[in-house]
């Protein structure tokens, strides 16, 4: 059993793909699935009227808008590896979902558009990876289009993100002159031709005459000079630094043309770590420990609209998972039987009989799970809590049709527990009002769309002027004193914790200075 578990853990690769919107993240995911044999034809993520859609974009709104608005779980096997991809939303308005998903990953693939370089959302997501110390692998995309000089892109990664880089391969030309990639570690030229399939040519080095014959004198001379410069002045390959998140291997390619993707997948799977130990309130939980444990990092309602189901996504952190096993739900102290575990290809699912550390399993959820819950076979420890970020946009919502009250309550409750929105309520005067908060503005649109399409509920939105939220720590005998005209609003969250909403950062700082006996926190307990 121990040898079997170690073997299964060693071949697992669980990673997230992160990027700024429109860098080609969903396209790259589709091509990885294509090479892994998980799909037969990559879906289009372009036009709203396209007949095909990306496998990772399963929600109707995603297909209509051509963007990813929720994380997807995708798994396949490739050359002996069992691969779990966590495809995350690129749009900054859904960054909270991405942050939670990163907690379930052992490494990350950072996708960069060669024309735009390191963009704001990439910076935010990279900071989360750096804070967690997970290895980051960089894929610079769209090399068949006009873009920045490759050396400038490396400099940008190092100056903006503060991470050293090591190019695993190097482009031969760029844009209209792009004609291939030279693999530095395999001494191989992957030849790009817009009219033909890619060809791989084994060579003796960057000065091999075969390269000159294939790409011409000008590009061959340029490649030779650039590789020599990288060998002298670039950061050397260091496996330990890569695994420790101190050095990012860089790959160049074009996801939309399939070019460089399979070579990237091969190298990435060899370099990326297998499942790592996880922090808990009782110390590190090792992935090879025989007893099963895991945590819920995502809840998704209505993945199958016909059944109005709800699925909790569980990252396995140790041991072997078996269908029908009994586990302890640590938060409630109850014992549960996991009778209908599922694995996913976005919306498509299949019953899973067993799974191992690093795998993602979907659990049927009648409403008993919350994001961050720990499940374990033995003991009663809890994994580190997942971060909850303060919203920056607020609105008061009202149900248009009182006859749909039950549906309204159910939809609101489920989407809040899923993490699609944050909910608060007023309590100081007048009838109770429901306030919802979002990290990004587009979350309101998705929330409204899902309430209407999945629960048949029409809402009235009244936008509020508040931009900051702080949880109040400490005893407050008279909460009404914290509400000052229209500049602040006192509300409570679902845990009955008090928080104050502010209309400006300046007034918030002034207010905090005037109430030094209290502590104002960005995150709830």
Q: What is the mean pLDDT of the chain?
A: 86
Query: Is 97 annotated as belonging to a binding site?
Result: no
State how far the Cα of 45 lies from the Cα of 444, in Å rounded to an integer. Answer: 23
Predicted confidence (pLDDT) at residue 55 exceeds the cutoff of 80: no
Least confident of 268-272, 392-396, 411-415: 411-415
Predicted confidence (pLDDT) at residue 115 exceeds the cutoff of 50: yes
Listed in sequence order, the residues at least 6 apart from 49 whose beta carbon sits closer than 8 Å to its beta carbon are: none
Q: Do 387 and 302 meet the contact criterion of CB atoms below 8 Å apart?
A: no
pLDDT in the model for residue 507? 94
State how far the Cα of 274 lies from the Cα of 376, in Å rounded to an integer. Answer: 21
Q: Do 339 and 365 meet the contact criterion of CB atoms below 8 Å apart?
A: no
Query: Is 87 annotated as belonging to a binding site?
Result: yes
pLDDT in the model for residue 445? 86
Can you say whether the dihedral through the CA atoms of 150, 152, 153, 155 is positive or negative?
A: positive
Domains of the chain: 2-169+250-271 (3.40.50.300), 278-376 (3.40.50.300), 393-521 (3.30.70.3280)
Kindly report the backbone phi and psi dihedral angles of residue 253, in degrees, each rounded to the nearest multiple of 5, phi listed first.
Answer: 175, -170
Can you say whether the dihedral through the CA atoms of 493, 495, 498, 504 is positive or negative?
A: negative
Predicted confidence (pLDDT) at residue 116 exceeds the cutoff of 50: yes
Query: Is 521 annotated as belonging to a binding site?
Result: no
Query: Is 89 annotated as belonging to a binding site?
Result: yes
Q: How confident is the model at residue 66 (pLDDT cuts 50, 70, 90)?
A: very low
With residue 295 as reference, give the H or E element that holds it: strand 293-301
397: which strand partners?
434, 461
pLDDT in the model for residue 86? 85
User: Could you give the residue ranges of the DSSP H alpha helices within 106-216?
Assistant: 120-132, 150-161, 209-215
Higher-scoring residue by pLDDT: 90, 507:
507
State how far the Cα of 525 lies from the Cα of 521, in Å rounded to an integer. Answer: 9
Q: How confident is the model at residue 442 (pLDDT cuts 50, 70, 90)?
A: confident
Q: How confident is the model at residue 290 (pLDDT cuts 50, 70, 90)?
A: very high
Closest to 75 (Cα-Cα) out of 63, 85, 61: 85
How many other C-beta atoms can be found within 10 angstroms of the C-beta atom of residue 409? 13
Chain segment 208-241, per-residue pLDDT in tens: 999 999 999 999 999 999 999 999 999 999 999 9
Q: Do 387 and 99 meet the contact criterion of CB atoms below 8 Å apart?
A: yes
Chain segment 137-167, per-residue pLDDT in tens: 999 999 999 999 999 999 999 999 999 999 9
User: Could you give the residue ranges of the DSSP H alpha helices within 148-254?
Assistant: 150-161, 209-215, 217-233, 239-243
Query: Is 366 annotated as belonging to a binding site?
Result: no
Query: Is 406 annotated as belonging to a binding site?
Result: no
Predicted confidence (pLDDT) at residue 73 exceeds the cutoff of 90: no
The gap between the terminal CA atoms of the chain, to the nearest Å, is 39
Q: Taking residues 112-119, what's their average pLDDT?
A: 93
The residue ranges of DSSP E strands in 25-145, in sequence order, are: 72-78, 81-87, 107-113, 136-141
Q: Do 52 and 43 meet the contact criterion of CB atoms below 8 Å apart?
A: yes
Least confident of 9-23, 149-163, 208-222, 498-512: 9-23
Q: How far is CA 499 from CA 149, 220, 371, in A?
A: 48, 63, 21
pLDDT in the model for residue 38? 61
pLDDT in the model for residue 213? 94
At 170 the three-state DSSP class reads strand
356: which strand partners?
320
pLDDT in the model for residue 69? 39
Query: Is 19 annotated as belonging to a binding site?
Result: yes
Query: Is 22 annotated as belonging to a binding site?
Result: yes
State how far the Cα of 445 lies from the Cα of 365, in Å rounded to an integer. Answer: 25
Q: Is 410 exposed, middle or buried (0-12, 13-18, 19+ CB in 10 A)?
A: middle
Closest to 206 (Cα-Cα) out of 179, 193, 225, 190: 225
Q: How far is CA 368 from CA 19, 105, 145, 302, in A?
A: 33, 24, 49, 16
Higher-scoring residue by pLDDT: 217, 473:
217
Query: Is 25 annotated as belonging to a binding site?
Result: yes
Predicted confidence (pLDDT) at residue 432 exceeds the cutoff of 90: yes
Q: How confident is the model at residue 57 (pLDDT cuts 50, 70, 90)?
A: very low
Q: Is 436 exposed, middle or buried (0-12, 13-18, 19+ CB in 10 A)?
A: buried
Query: Is 141 annotated as belonging to a binding site?
Result: yes
Closest to 117 (Cα-Cα) out of 136, 92, 142: 142
Chain segment 453-462, per-residue pLDDT in tens: 889 999 999 9
Closest to 270 (Cα-Cα) out of 168, 141, 180: 168
State how far the Cα of 151 lies from the Cα of 226, in Å rounded to an integer. Answer: 9
pLDDT in the model for residue 54? 46
Q: How confident is the model at residue 88 (pLDDT cuts 50, 70, 90)?
A: low
pLDDT in the model for residue 118? 92
Query: Is 365 annotated as belonging to a binding site?
Result: no
Higher-scoring residue by pLDDT: 34, 63:
34
Predicted confidence (pLDDT) at residue 305 exceeds the cutoff of 60: no
pLDDT in the model for residue 510? 94
At 158 the three-state DSSP class reads helix
Chain segment 294-304, per-residue pLDDT in tens: 999 888 766 55
Query: Is 50 annotated as belonging to a binding site?
Result: no
**pTM for the full model?**
0.80
For a pLDDT cut of 70, what percent of the chain falls above it? 88
Query: Is 26 annotated as belonging to a binding site?
Result: yes
């Amino acid at each position: 059993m121990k040898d079997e578990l170690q073997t299964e853990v060693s071949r697992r690769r669980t990673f997230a793909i992160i990027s700024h919107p429109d860098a080609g993240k969903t396209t790259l995911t589709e091509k990885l699935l294509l090479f892994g044999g998980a799909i037969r034809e990559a879906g289009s993520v372009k036009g709203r009227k396209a007949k095909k859609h990306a496998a990772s974009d399963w929600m109707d709104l995603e297909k209509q808008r051509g963007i990813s608005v929720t994380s997807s779980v995708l798994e396949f096997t490739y050359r002996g590896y069992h691969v779990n991809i966590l495809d995350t939303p690129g749009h900054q308005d859904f960054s909270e979902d991405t942050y939670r998903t990163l907690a379930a990953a052992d490494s990350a693939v950072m996708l960069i558009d060669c024309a735009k370089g390191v963009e704001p959302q990439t910076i935010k997501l990279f900071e989360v990876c750096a804070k967690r110390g997970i290895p980051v692998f960089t894929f610079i995309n769209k090399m068949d289009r006009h873009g920045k000089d490759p050396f400038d892109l490396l400099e940008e990664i190092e100056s903006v993100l503060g991470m050293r880089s090591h190019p695993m391969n190097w482009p031969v030309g760029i844009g209209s002159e792009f004609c291939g990639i030279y693999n530095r570690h395999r001494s191989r030229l992957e030849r790009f031709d817009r009219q033909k399939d890619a060809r791989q040519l084994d060579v003796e080095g960057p000065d091999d005459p075969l390269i000159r014959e294939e790409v011409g004198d000008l590009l061959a001379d340029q490649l030779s000079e650039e590789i020599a410069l990288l060998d002298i002045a670039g950061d050397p390959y260091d496996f330990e630094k890569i695994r420790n998140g101190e050095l990012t291997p860089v790959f160049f390619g074009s996801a939309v043309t399939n070019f460089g993707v399979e070579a990237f997948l091969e190298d990435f799977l060899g370099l990326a770590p297998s499942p790592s130990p996880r922090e808990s309130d009782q110390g590190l939980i090792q992935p090879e420990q025989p007893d099963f444990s895991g945590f819920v990092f995502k809840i998704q309602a209505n993945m199958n609209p016909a059944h109005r189901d709800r699925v909790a996504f569980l990252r396995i952190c140790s041991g072997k998972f078996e269908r029908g096993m009994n586990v302890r739900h640590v938060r409630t102290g109850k014992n549960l039987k996991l009778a209908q575990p599922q694995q996913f290809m976005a919306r498509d699912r299949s019953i899973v009989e067993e799974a191992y550390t690093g795998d993602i399993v979907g659990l049927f959820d009648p409403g008993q799970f919350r994001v961050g819950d720990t499940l374990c076979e033995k003991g009663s420890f809890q994994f580190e809590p997942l971060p909850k970020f303060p919203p920056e946009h607020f609105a008061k919502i009202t149900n248009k049709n009182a006859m749909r009250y039950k549906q309204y309550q159910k939809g609101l409750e489920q989407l809040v527990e899923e993490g699609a929105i944050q909910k608060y309520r007023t309590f100081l005067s007048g009838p109770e009002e429901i306030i919802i908060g979002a990290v990004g503005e587009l979350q309101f649109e998705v929330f409204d769309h899902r309430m209407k399409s999945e629960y048949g509920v029409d809402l009235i939105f009244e936008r509020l002027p508040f931009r900051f939220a702080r949880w109040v720590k400490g005893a407050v005998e008279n909460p009404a004193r914290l509400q000052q005209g229209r500049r602040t609003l006192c509300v409570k969250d679902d845990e009955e914790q008090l928080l104050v909403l502010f209309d400006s950062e300046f007034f918030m700082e002034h207010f905090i200075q005037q109430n030094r006996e209290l502590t104002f926190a960005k995150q709830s307990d």
